[in-house]
């Protein structure tokens, strides 16, 4: 153990966890086929439907977000099916690579930091018969939220399944999956829910559930997971401590109320963006599509990524994320989802200001922190 635990943990996931969640996780071993765990799975199912805002079927897999995406894809498409992948960042690119293993996958690329254009999706769909379309609702790599309702409208007008990576969206962004017509929506435990990393959840439309097959999956066999959960069971040994923590995090979310959490996440995001602007910094993504769960911020001239994050970590015990792939060194990213508070943001931006000052970036000292404080006090 070399580092002290961070006081300010602002990654775009995993995010800070409530002590109640940690305590729930650290229970002694439990019989995952016994009556007590059945009750836990019953709660998990109901509360997972709540966080997805759906009446449809759900599954919770012992595996991180990628496992959930794989379950949705392998359950709905076959090797010869054509799948259209909307790609505008690292995670949508990875989603495309995943689809390439299990289907005939075609990428429709958009520049990183710009949103998916529904008109271009419509043209692509008219040009080819796709069984499914994938999109990353909230691109964690670029801090951008794609226009989900509009994309869903286009996909729904064709006869294709809409499979959505909602890993940093569900529980943090306004969601009407049933009304919009999302067929499969995937979330990760360690993001807006603020549970530990290691579980993923999938919600399905009725027509998606009715179409599930098991030809190319075993561990991620979505039908097996859905049907088992409906009977308070799991097809394989579950990651018991993660389920205990997941349930507690869902209870915390329900106590706050889903719409309250989404509204609070939005206020935090607006505060973070106000601080960025006050400091004379620039968001990476198109401002109109800036994400409410993660902000991606361009480094100003002269501020070097590794050094910036090292100072933050070592001098200020503050953890933020860097950029990925070709954005490495060009941006840093902060998460403001889950149980993140205005205090977290304020302390985080105080550390960011101090680090920028140490790196000779010039700005009016205190304006970032002040912007957050002002927002925290507005209704």
Which residues here bind a copy of itself, judged by CB under 8 A? 1-3, 5-6, 9, 11, 13-17, 22-23, 25-36, 39, 62-67, 70, 97-98, 101-102, 188, 190, 196-199, 214-220, 236-242, 245, 313, 319, 321
End-to-end, the C-alpha distance of the chain in Å comes to: 42
Shortest Cβ distance from residue 179 to a copy of itself (Å)?
30
Shortest Cβ distance from residue 123 to a copy of itself (Å)?
29
Tokens of 182: 């999302």
Q: 204-216 burial string, b = 16+ CB within 10 Å, else e?
A: bbeebbebbeeeb
Query: Toward a copy of itself, which CB reaches closer, 133 or 245?
Result: 245
Shortest Cβ distance from residue 7 to a copy of itself (Å)?
10
Query: Toward a copy of itself, which CB reaches closer, 53 or 335?
Result: 335
Identify the H or E element spanning 294.
strand 294-298
d(CA 224, CA 221): 5
Q: What is the C-alpha radius of gyration for the chain, rounded to an integer number of angstroms?
A: 21
Local structure of 97: helix, strand or coil:
helix
Query: Toward a copy of itself, which CB reaches closer, 6 or 354?
Result: 6
Query: Toward a copy of itself, which CB reaches closer, 15 or 76?
Result: 15
Local structure of 158: helix, strand or coil:
coil
Shortest Cβ distance from residue 219 to a copy of itself (Å)?
5
Residue in this structure with the two tokens 């796709």, named with its chain if needed: 130
The dihedral sign for the CA sequence 360, 366, 371, 376: positive
Residues in the chain, total: 379
Query: Toward a copy of itself, which CB reaches closer, 48 or 66?
Result: 66
Query: Toward a copy of itself, which CB reaches closer, 34 or 128?
Result: 34
Shortest Cβ distance from residue 29 to a copy of itself (Å)?
4
Local structure of 3: helix, strand or coil:
coil
Q: Phi and psi dihedrals of 226, rounded to 5?
A: -60, -50
Helix axes 258-278, 240-256, angle to 10 degrees: 80
Shortest Cβ distance from residue 176 to a copy of itself (Å)?
27
């Amino acid at each position: 153990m070399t580092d002290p635990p961070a006081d300010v943990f602002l990654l775009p996931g995993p995010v800070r966890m409530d002590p109640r969640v940690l305590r729930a996780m650290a229970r002694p071993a439990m019989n995952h086929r016994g009556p007590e765990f059945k009750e836990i799975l019953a709660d998990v199912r109901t509360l997972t439907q709540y966080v997805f805002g759906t009446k449809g079927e759900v599954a919770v897999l012992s595996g991180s977000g990628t496992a959930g995406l794989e379950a949705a894809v392998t359950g709905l498409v076959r090797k010869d099916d054509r799948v259209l992948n909307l790609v505008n960042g690292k995670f949508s690119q990875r989603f495309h690579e995943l689809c390439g293993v299990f289907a005939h996958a075609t990428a429709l690329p958009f520049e990183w930091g710009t949103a998916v254009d529904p008109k271009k999706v419509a043209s692509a769909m008219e040009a080819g018969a796709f069984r499914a379309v994938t999109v990353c609702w909230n691109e964690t790599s670029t801090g951008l939220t794609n226009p989900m309702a509009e994309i869903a409208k286009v996909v729904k007008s064709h006869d294709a399944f809409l499979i959505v990576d909602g890993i940093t969206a569900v529980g943090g962004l306004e969601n009407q999956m049933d009304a919009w017509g999302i067929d499969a929506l995937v979330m990760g435990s360690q993001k807006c829910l603020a549970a530990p990393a290691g579980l993923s959840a999938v919600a399905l439309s009725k027509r998606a559930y009715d179409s599930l097959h098991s030809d190319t999956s075993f561990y991620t066999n979505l039908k097996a997971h859905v049907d088992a959960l409906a009977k308070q069971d799991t097809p394989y040994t579950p990651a018991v401590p993660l389920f205990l923590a997941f349930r507690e995090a869902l209870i915390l979310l329900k106590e706050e109320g889903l719409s309250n959490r989404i509204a609070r996440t939005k206020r935090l995001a607006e505060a973070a963006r106000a601080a960025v602007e006050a400091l004379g910094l620039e968001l990476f993504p198109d401002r109109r599509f800036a994400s409410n769960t993660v902000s991606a911020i361009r480094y100003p001239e002269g501020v070097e990524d590794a050094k910036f994050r090292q100072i933050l970590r070592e001098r200020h015990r503050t953890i933020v994320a860097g950029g990925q792939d070709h954005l490495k060194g060009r941006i840093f990213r902060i998460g403001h989802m889950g149980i993140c508070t205005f205090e977290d943001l304020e302390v985080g931006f105080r550390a960011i200001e101090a680090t920028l000052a140490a790196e000779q970036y010039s700005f009016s000292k205190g304006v970032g922190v002040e912007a957050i404080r002002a927002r925290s006090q507005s209704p």
